[in-house]
Structure 1
Amino acid sequence: MIAPMILALAVVAAQQTVSQPLTLEQAIAEAEAHAPAIDLADADSDAAAARTDQARAAGLPSATLTGTIGIGRLDPGGFFGLPAADVTPRAAQATLEQPLFTGGRVSAAMARARAGERMAGAAGDGARADLAAQVAEAYGAVLIAEEQQRLYEALVATTTELARHAQNRFEVGDAPRTDLSQANARLAEARAQVAAAHGAMRVTRARLANLIGRDPGTLAPLPAPPAIPADLEATILAAEESSPAVAQAKAGLDAALAAERGAKAERLPTVGAFAEASTVRDQFFPGYRADAATVGLRARWQFFDGGRVRGQVAEASAGVRGARAQLAAARDQMQEAITAAHAAVESSALVEQAATEQRAAAQEAARNVRDEVKVGQKPQLDLLDAEREATAAGVFALRARADRVTAGYRLNALLGRY
């Protein structure tokens, strides 16, 4: 009895959740949980962490166990009076080794792997921030398309009524055919705009659905633009510390420097401690047995390699120069992109303010013209134009708002914020 009640409550709660409008913040969270690009970034990050573990393991003890076993016949040929016999030759050896000196190979490999982890992490931050900006843009596009359709449908209703009045006045000889033709032309234009808005809405909703992994349903109004640094200089300074592109370039330089150290370390010997234990049976004559245990040091130094290490060092040094150039380019590109994005944020705020004022003025003008047409002070064409301008101003105001929100997310994407 309790289980059905719980199930019913869960269904009701799910229905209430579904019926609630989707907010931009929720859309971004759903997109992050759905996006293949985020899964790829996470997989790259996990792989980088695994490479760090591999590099660390090279400096830790290792234990190896080897063994062989066979079956055959051994004939000593009468040596020591031993007869031929069936034997089962077998051997086993256990080895424990601990590197003591590697010339810097292990530390260089670990530094390179850790730099790879930072590169993967920065790439993941960049992917998430860019995804948030994409969702904000798609979210705003859906709201714009929906508002366009609503406003143009209202314009169709208004224009249809005006066209009907023009038809009636024309039939009684109170209006010229020009008024009727102009009203019908405006009506056809409004219907075309409704059709275009409907198509745009389908396209934009499909884009948002692709990002979040489901039909977005009803959307909540656009939120306030995201917070950004106060001025351009502060934004550029913040980008130097948090920009994913710059962070990747810095980590790339660290990786190149570590690779250079690792290449130079190949010139030095390696020293390690070892302990071995072995056992052998039936190897040389029937009944043969031998056991051994050894503890010692093992060193290896390749003092001539035909120029192999010299070539590796030269290659790594060239990689360092290339990484420095990439870091300089990343900083220049970051500064250019930040400047453009910050300007877009500032200009979009001014455009939104102007568009809001334009919408209010156009709506007031339409109301005034409507009253003036009723008393015959202005022709019907003026009202058709006023209604069209008011509708266009309403769409422009919403687009300006969406552009401002998107500009904020685009700037934050360059800063690695999401």
Structure 2
Amino acid sequence: MRMVAAAVLISVFGASPAQANSLLDAYRAAQHNDAVLDAALAVRDAAVEVQPQARALLLPTVTATASAAREHYRLDGANSVVGDPSNPTPADDNANFAATRRTYGLDLDQPLWSVESFQKLRQSSLEVAQAEAAYRDAQQALILRVAESYFAVLAAADNLSANRSEREAYGALVDQAQKKLQTGLGARIGVEEAQSFYTLTGQSVSDSELALLDARRALLQMTRLSTAIVPLRGEIPLVSPRPASSDDWLVATRDDNYGVQAAELAAAAAQRGVAVVRGRYWPTISLQGSLGKTEVPDVLGGDQRVDSIGVVAQWPIFQGGMVRSQTREAEARFRQSWAEYQNRKRQAERDTLAAYRGVIAGIRNIRSGRLAVDANRTAVEASQNGVEAGTRTEFDLLNAQTNYYAALRAYYQSRYDYLDNSLKLKAQAGRLTEADLVAVDAELADDGSQIEMPDEQAP
């Protein structure tokens, strides 16, 4: 299935928008600095070790032992006589003595048959695959999180710019109303109305400044880069989803979504875990051999060497109901994993359809938003001319200004919603890669403009 990425426009970090610190560079920086991805990598690396541990259960075990112990002996007949019975003499002190016993051993245990170990090895393969899928899902999530953080910064900057412009426009209307009042051409109510609109914008500007600073901090948390930001171009290409059918995207989500794959593999591993526990019912057969040597005094028989090799079978007939309980636990965990897989798949399908509809609706919203901005700008100009001609009031002009800036903010936001949904749609289908960020960098503003960040000062 061929997926065509929607062209994404986003800010570039750096002094020059065409050079370093592009979106791709920011993503690569986040690969080395993002704590969420670092944690996912550690989880993957830990899970990979499950397989060699399971394989070790089927490989030979060699154990070397050595010991030394000081022992005290009292031989039988220590109080009797020794020598010629016709000329007895008391037993000497050698009948009571101390000696050091040293033992050395080398033991080999090679499993020949173990249902539990065989099933554990099969389960480990599923667990490793699940961990790898989960890590790839985290990689795609990082791409999306970096892009969304860029969008959040740019959206906050656009919102701040619109609020500042709105405040300046209301400020100009306040000055105009005051001049009319001073010349006797206006009423005080006009000044008060303009002043009320102007006052309300103060909080909006303050809030949008804080929102911009917070959005930048969120981006820095991942990239650890503090550089300038370049805005979007004025016009962005609007690309419909390809393939055009939502069913095709759902198929791609079911087959290629890494989160869904990880959940499915986790359920398969849990199902294999039931077989692992049931394997404890069966006997185990192993080849066991040993080499041993014991050093003791000659009076106790001297050094001894014992070597052995043989096959040992063990069958746990009854373990107090432990295995039966563990089997029920494993079956319950499998049901849990299967339910989580079903939920993850359904959620992915829902998110895919939401992103697909978001792209389609985003195209319409951007086009209609652009028309709304133009229409409201015309309404502002008409109201301004009407006030000068005396056919409109200042209140009509204030309302026209309010509608214009509301339409402008909605238009700005519709662009980022469209871009966000375009990336989310690819991420749900498991198709979001660095190549999409390269396409983003190719669509950046190239006029040298940069977003000015507000000063971060304590209140």
Pair in the same fold by TM > 0.5: yes
Specify which structure has the bigger relative contact order, considering alpha-carbon pairs within 8 angstroms and separated by 6 or more residues.
2
Task: Report deviation, 1:91.
Answer: 0.5
* 1:90/1:283 contact within 8 Å kept: no
Whole-angstrom CA distance in 2 between matches of 1:197 and 1:87: 88
Q: What residue is the counterpart of 1:34 in the other structure?
A: 33
| Alignment equivalent of 1:100, drawn from 93, 112, 120 | 112
* 1:76/1:285 contact within 8 Å kept: no
2:350 is equivalent to residue 351 of structure 1: no
* 2:48/2:131 contact within 8 Å kept: no
Q: What residue is the counterpart of 1:112 in the other structure?
A: 123
Q: What residue is the counterpart of 2:257 in the other structure?
A: 243
Q: What residue is the counterpart of 1:70 in the other structure?
A: 69
Q: With the length of structure 1 as denominator, give the TM-score of the two structures.
A: 0.82
SS of the equivalent of 2:306 reads: strand
Whole-angstrom CA distance in 2 between matches of 1:185 and 1:264: 76
| Alignment equivalent of 1:202, drawn from 213, 223, 231 | 213
Task: Report deviation, 1:254.
Answer: 1.5
Q: What residue is the counterpart of 2:312 in the other structure?
A: 298
* 1:205/1:216 contact within 8 Å kept: no
C-alpha spacing 1:308/1:381, structure 2 compared with 1 (3 Å) = closer
Please, which moves more after superposition, 406-415 or 42-51? 406-415
Q: Which amino acid aligns with 2:65?
A: T
* 1:163/1:183 contact within 8 Å kept: yes
* 2:107/2:288 contact within 8 Å kept: yes
Q: What residue is the counterpart of 2:440 in the other structure?
A: none
Aligned pairs, how many?
Answer: 402
Alignment of 1:392-411 (within 5 A): 392-411=406-425
Alignment of 1:6-405 (within 5 A): 18-20=14-16, 23-77=22-76, 83-102=95-114, 104-215=115-226, 217-221=228-232, 230=243, 231-282=245-296, 285=299, 288-367=302-381, 369-370=383-384, 378-405=392-419
SS of the equivalent of 1:201 reads: helix
Whole-angstrom CA distance in 2 between matches of 1:414 and 1:375: 57
* 2:146/2:219 contact within 8 Å kept: yes
Whole-angstrom CA distance in 2 between matches of 1:202 and 1:310: 58
Q: What residue is the counterpart of 2:88 in the other structure?
A: none
C-alpha spacing 1:184/1:332, structure 2 compared with 1 (3 Å) = closer
SS of the equivalent of 2:118 reads: helix
* 2:137/2:258 contact within 8 Å kept: yes
Deviation readout 1:97-131 (Å, 9 max, x if unpaired): 221211x2222112222222233333333334344
SS of the equivalent of 1:295 reads: strand
* 2:127/2:266 contact within 8 Å kept: yes
* 2:14/2:22 contact within 8 Å kept: no
Whole-angstrom CA distance in 2 between matches of 1:152 and 1:338: 34
Please, which moves more after superposition, 381-390 or 336-345? 381-390
Task: Report deviation, 1:261.
Answer: 1.8
* 2:253/2:429 contact within 8 Å kept: yes
Whole-angstrom CA distance in 2 between matches of 1:123 and 1:159: 52
C-alpha spacing 1:76/1:229, structure 2 compared with 1 (3 Å) = farther
* 2:355/2:421 contact within 8 Å kept: yes
Structure 2 portions without partners, runs of 5+: 1-12, 83-90, 433-459
Q: Percent identity?
A: 22
* 2:99/2:296 contact within 8 Å kept: yes
Structure 1 portions without partners, runs of 5+: 1-16
Task: Report deviation, 1:266.
Answer: 2.0
Deviation readout 1:34-58 (Å, 9 max, x if unpaired): 3322222222111111122110111
* 1:236/1:338 contact within 8 Å kept: yes
Whole-angstrom CA distance in 2 between matches of 1:58 and 1:283: 40
Whole-angstrom CA distance in 2 between matches of 1:155 and 1:60: 75
Q: Which amino acid aligns with 1:19?
A: A
* 2:240/2:359 contact within 8 Å kept: no
Please, which moves more after superposition, 282-291 or 372-381? 372-381
C-alpha spacing 1:77/1:310, structure 2 compared with 1 (3 Å) = same
SS of the equivalent of 2:124 reads: helix
Deviation readout 1:211-261 (Å, 9 max, x if unpaired): 434546424438878996523211111111222442233212221221222
More helix by share: 1
Please, which moves more after superposition, 106-115 or 61-70? 106-115
Task: Report deviation, 1:69.
Answer: 1.0
Q: Which amino acid aligns with 2:169?
A: T
Whole-angstrom CA distance in 1 between matches of 2:51 and 2:239: 36
Task: Report deviation, 1:132.
Answer: 3.7
Please, which moves more after superposition, 121-130 or 80-89? 80-89
* 1:132/1:409 contact within 8 Å kept: no
SS of the equivalent of 1:123 reads: helix
C-alpha spacing 1:175/1:284, structure 2 compared with 1 (3 Å) = farther
Task: Report deviation, 1:385.
Answer: 3.7
Whole-angstrom CA distance in 2 between matches of 1:227 and 1:117: 37
Whole-angstrom CA distance in 2 between matches of 1:26 and 1:403: 23
Whole-angstrom CA distance in 1 between matches of 2:299 and 2:250: 80
